Chains A and B, each alone.
Chain A
Amino acid sequence: MKAAPFEYISAGSIDEACALLARHGESAKLIAGGQSLVPMMAMRLVRPAWLVDINEIAALKFIRVERDAARVGACTRQCVVERDDALAAQVPLLRQALAWVGHVQTRNRGTIGGSLAHADPAAELPLAAQVLGARFVLRSAKGARTVEAIRFFAGPMSTAAQPDECLEEIHWPIWSEQRTGSAFTEIAVRHGDFAIVAAAAQVALDVDGRCTRVAFGLGGAGGTPLVFPGIAARLVGAGLDDRAAQEAANAAAAECEPGGDLHATAEYRRHLARVLVARVLRAAGEKAKRQ
């Protein structure tokens, strides 16, 4: 046994989970797939007095593709999301991001909501959520509220969720434009590790190949996944050629303030930002052209 002792309750419903959080406050922690939390508890970086397990709550496991957004229950396993063709057709960036997340064994257990709530700034799913402007439904005993991605990711491993709130579902916006393409790439020490730097983009083109909508972002280049709406807006109205993609990438790299650590210097991360943003913008544009 590695973790410090704790009391364990498997919640039978969302209401029960919220009631437990309301009662125990900051001394309680939710556990979903546990692929980040269990190691952190083993290293005693996290020592909750109460562990509230939400794995058996069927109401938190669903995928519903609606007109404007795909709704995914927070406790839906990453492998289930990865395999869902209807979802991948409407929100292709999600499957593209998941291809970089961990390994088969961790995706079988890890959940969509767990990764987002963990909010590692170099993780893939938070970046995809940030780029698409996902919306997060947070529930507490007092009711539910919806938070935009840009407000949800508050800092490294830190979100807008209060100690009494449970992430219930995530709404992934569907772009209705016919000619839409997206791309995700990253550089990591080993495939499956958190990224040193990751980049994601989604692009919509009109019939003449001019951008009508662009969103892109970077992971591992700041305290949260970063998006660059101002730079993306400047790409709208023109074709997405190599030069435009590189200029946008240079602007984004200049704007971000990556840190340096054991794995990569800040300078190297900024270099990767320049290279990877240009790469995903071009790839997303190419895919959109083929639609």
Chain B
Amino acid sequence: MSETLHTVAIEVNGKPRIGAVPARLSLVDWLREELLLTGTHIGCEHGICGACSVLLDGEPVRSCLMYAVQAHGHRVTTVEGLARPDGSLSVLQDSFCETHGLQCGYCTSGMLIAAQALLDANPDPTVEQIRGAIGGNLCRCTGYQQIIQAVQLAAQRTREAAAS
């Protein structure tokens, strides 16, 4: 059957993108399959695992729990948008490498999005606040401790860079 296509204009990682989407296409499917931004991962597809987290107008949301058509007129940041303009790793991404905050990498893009949103709002989070921020993201490799250390390290590095 032919489905109605909706025209969407969405700012993705700072660039205006236009699409024609069936209403039932999830935002994450549009990002991965149409824009080929495959850094955002699909885990459970029903809002449990957090792997598909993206920033919507600066706030972390699950991109499997909204339709691409609903992002029309909004701003989306994926993990690809976290790196520096020259493509090198952000402070947070580098901190994940430094502390072994990832193993298989499946949860990492969602973790980075959740942690970056926290650090943008709170440059000096407590362990409790870090746990709260990543509480909706499942990781089956690390046991979470190194991820928490990565966020602490990124916060510390960012504060030190700002002070110097």
Contact = CB atoms under 8 A, between A and B. Distances in A.
Nearest to B131: A191
A106 B49 CA distance: 11
A233 interface: no
B29 A38 contact: no
Contact of A104 (B3, B65, B66, B135): B135
A34 interface: yes
A52 to B, nearest CB: 11
A104 B136 contact: yes
Chain B interface residue number, banded? 35 or more
Interface stretch (A3-11, A133-141, A164-172, A178-186): A3-11
A115 interface: no
B69 interface: yes
Contacts of A51: 23
Chain A interface residue number, banded? 20 to 34
B135 A42 contact: no
Contacts of A41: 24
B45 A108 contact: no
Given A4-B24, A39-B65, A104-B136, A79 B46 contact: no
B123 interface: no
B117 A106 contact: no
B144 interface: no
Interface string A47-67: 000010101100000000000
A132 to B, nearest CB: 25
A192 interface: yes
B22 to A, nearest CB: 7
A105 B52 CA distance: 10
Nearest to A1: B24
A35 interface: yes
A34 B65 contact: yes
B3 A5 contact: yes
Nearest to A31: B70
Contacts of B46: 38-39, 42-43
Given A8-B6, A55-B70, A106 B47 contact: yes
A128 B25 CA distance: 34
B60 A104 contact: yes
Contact of A103 (B29, B66, B135): B135
Interface string A104-128: 1110110000000000000000000
Contacts of B65: 34-35, 38-39, 106, 109
Contact of A108 (B24, B47, B50, B60): B60
Contact of A6 (B23, B47, B62, B137): B23
Interface in A12-61: 31, 34-35, 38-39, 41-43, 51, 53, 55-56
A6 B61 CA distance: 23
B108 interface: no
B59 interface: yes
A53 B24 contact: no
B56 A109 contact: yes
A102 interface: yes
B4 A7 contact: yes
Interface string B70-81: 101100000000
A7 B3 CA distance: 8
Interface of B: 1, 3-4, 6, 22-26, 29, 45-47, 50, 53, 56, 59-62, 64-67, 69-70, 72-73, 114, 117, 132-133, 135-137
Q: Which 10 A-B pairs have the closest CB atoms?
A: A103-B136, A8-B23, A39-B46, A3-B24, A108-B59, A109-B61, A38-B65, A105-B60, A105-B136, A1-B24
Given A39-B46, A109-B56, 7 more contacts: A35-B65, A38-B64, A103-B136, A103-B137, A105-B50, A108-B59, A192-B136
